[in-house]
Structure 1
Amino acid sequence: MTTVRFAVLDRARSQVLDKGRGLSEPDVLEVLRLPDEALTPLLELAHEVRMRWCGPEVEVEGIISLKTGGCPEDCHFCSQSGLFASPVRSAWLDIDSLVEAAKQTAKAGATEFCIVAAVRGPDERLMTQVVAAVAAINDAVEINVACSLGMLTEDQVTRLAAMGVHRYNHNLETARSYFPQVVTTHTWEERWGTLQMVREAGMEVCCGGIVGMGESLEQRAEFAGQLAALEPDEVPLNFLNPRPGTPFGDLPQLEGSDALRTVAAFRLALPRTVLRFAGGRELTLGDLGARQGLLGGINAIIVGNYLTTLGRPAETDLDLLTELQMPIKALNQAL
């Protein structure tokens, strides 16, 4: 009985661990359906896969919001939407504040600093601010600069690549089949188009999403398969932190075991990808879950606070990495 129930782990060991080929969507779904008694061997296998195909290093990143609030889109999880009765107010950061944030991020040991704006896509005012910010940061501190500015035009992609933006984040958020339940003001296909232009311009592609927004296990597996087809350099995994005033504000919190199963399943679908712990892990998993995730397939973390929610203190995460003997990825080191 046990052998039949966990047969997908045997297949994963042969296909993913030994050969480095990610699981198919049906196998990912089978992993997501594994019972709790399979969780420990599942996490152990995902950790083996991470160590073999990515190594022990952990990439550390900090993020900062250049433009907060007032977004015209209706992403149902986001308190930055100007369409919801949520508490986030519109604000801009000046260049000096962005540079100081980049310095503090680098001081914490991070190699990646992401500038984020709550917009559908950047207008000329925002692009001008980003150009100035990237130049000032590059002059002041040695750190990779990433951006997350919504949907882009081809010209904007070219400009970002030319100014030396290392990586562009644009999350697909969820499976294509579930996306209309999450966002109605733009389409999944529009996001996909931006990601294709980013890759063609030579920037690294960062694309993930949020787990626990009411999607089915089938749609969670679908999402993993769609990310695998995209072949992003990085996948940030967020867990819904329901925000008051948003359409998803009353959704239940994801169970910790389901979150860990998802981490492991995505690692088995994406054996060579940077898989990053992002928002919601503190609420969903707590301190123990952070350890289990890092020993269950995760090889990157965001330190400090997120855009509208609090994260763990950077020192807490860095101390945990030291305890687990996981070195922080160096700036010039490829995962």
Structure 2
Amino acid sequence: MILDIAREQVLERRIGLDEAQTLEVLRLPDERVDDALELAHEVRMRHCGPEVEVEGIVSIKTGGCPEDCHFCSQSGRFETPVRAVRLDIPSLVEAARETAATGATEFCIVAAVRGPDKRLMDQVREGVKAITDNVDINVACSLGILTREQGEELRDLGVHRYNHNLETARSHFGNVVTTHTWEERWETLQLVREMGMEVCCGGIIGMGESLEQRAELAAQFAALNPDEVPLNFLDPRPGTPFASLEPVPALDALRTIAAFRLALPRTILRFAGGRELTLGDLGARQGMVGGINAVIVGNYLTTLGRSPQEDLDLLAELSMPVKELSKTL
């Protein structure tokens, strides 16, 4: 019954599923997953269109983070193989140029920090200017918790979009992070919107949360109404508290993709970290025809992704055009 309800409510009336309805989709039996994906694809095509937004990301500061996010090998609190390094500005510009060469419209500068200090803000200022002077691409940032002054500066630099993930449902957050609160993340996201930057806010599926908490997260995204939701699946990292967790089963991941599209009918829903481990090549195809309309190409911050050409070839095969830069300005 929930798919019949969703067809009328989401497809026809453009009203996303609420938390209880999203939970029903997450509980669908395996034999109904294809039906849910088909409906999610119809919703994506009607309300978002066939275009796919392509993005690359690069870390300007890797490792040594003081926070204890239990999924993250960049935390300085855990014994992981990741070591603290910083990227110089010429390398940052070259990474942006390589990203643009794939047809991507978005390039995100990421730093492993609680929030940016003066040194990092100086680097970001220099990096954003160098990229905008030399590469035809939108610049996004993901630098942690912001002050009002930092938000104003990023806006004035021309930062197009700011990423700050909620990561998981509010009721589960304390099991994932203890060094800052869910509310602090929410406040930064509200600040980003107030500054006039696009809001990018995602989560990670598979961190010990229940199906109820996945539905809760989808409802919290809907309340925030972000421009983009990157959907990550946990890739357990050696040395982290979540190293022993099992990857999300493929069918559960596909159910989640469909459920989040039906809860967020007009949002950019982006394939992000962990999709290769969880879904493989076949699952990636199913996700692209099951509600996803954006991808991160290339490698992630501490894990390897598919080659950009593989993703671009898949989009061409599915007749899904890459979104053009001129349409995002």
1:69 aligns with 2:69: no
Asked if residue 173 in structure 1 is aligned to residue 167 in structure 2, the reply is yes
- The equivalent residue for 1:251 is 245
Structure 2 CA distance for partners of 1:54 and 1:334, relative to 1, 3 Å: farther
Give the one of 21, 31, 43 matched to 1:27: 21
1:54 maps to 48
* Identity among equivalent pairs (%): 74
Q: Which letter maps to 1:108?
A: T
Deviations 1:198-226 (A, max 9, x none): 00000000001100000000000000000
CA distance in 1, matches of 2:35, 2:206: 23
Give secondary structure in 1 for the equivalent of 2:71.
Answer: coil
Among 116, 121, 137, the alignment partner of 1:143 is: 137
Question: Does residue 200 in structure 1 map to residue 194 in structure 2?
Answer: yes
| Secondary structure in 2 matching 1:178 | helix
Secondary structure at the aligned position of 2:244 is classed as coil
Mapped pair 1:281 → 2:272: no
Deviations 1:80-122 (A, max 9, x none): 0000011100000000000000000000110000000000000
Q: 2:99 aligns with which of 95, 99, 105?
A: 105
- 2:138 maps to amino acid: N
Alignment partner of 2:158 out of 164, 177, 182:
164
Amino acid at match of 2:110: V
- Structure 1 counterpart of 2:284, which letter? A
1:333: how far off?
Answer: 1.4
Question: Displacement of 1:334 after TM fit?
Answer: 4.6
TM-score normalised to structure 1 length: 0.98
**Map of 1:262 onto structure 2:** 256
Distance 2:193 2:311 in 1: 31
**How many Å apart are 1:253 and its aligned residue?**
1.0
Shift of 1:332: 1.9
2: CA distance, partners of 1:168 / 1:334 = 15
Stretches of structure 1 lacking an aligned partner (at least 5 in a row): 1-6
Aligned to 2:210: 216
CA distance in 1, matches of 2:13, 2:100: 36
Deviation at 1:19, TM superposition (A): 1.0
Separation in structure 1 between the aligned mates of residue 26 and residue 12 of structure 2, nearest angstrom: 21
CA RMSD of aligned residues (A): 0.7
- Distance of 1:334 and 1:8 partners within structure 2: 34
Report the equivalent of 2:228: 234
Would the alpha carbon gap of residues 106 and 227 (structure 1) be closer, same or farther in structure 2, given more than 3 Å must change? same
Aligned equivalent of 2:12: 18
Q: Residue in 1 aligned with 2:312?
A: 318
Residue 296 of structure 1 aligns to a residue whose secondary structure is coil
Instruction: Flag structure 2 segments of 5+ consecutive residues without an equivalent.
Output: none
The aligned counterpart of 1:3 is none
Number of aligned residue pairs: give it: 329
* C-alpha distance in structure 2 between counterparts of 1:334 and 1:127, whole Å: 25
Secondary structure (helix, strand or coil) at the match of 2:31 reads: helix
Distance 2:262 2:150 in 1: 34
User: Aligned-pair distance for 1:244?
Assistant: 0.5
Counterpart Cα distance in 2 of 1:334 and 1:264: 25
TM-score in terms of structure 2 length = 0.99
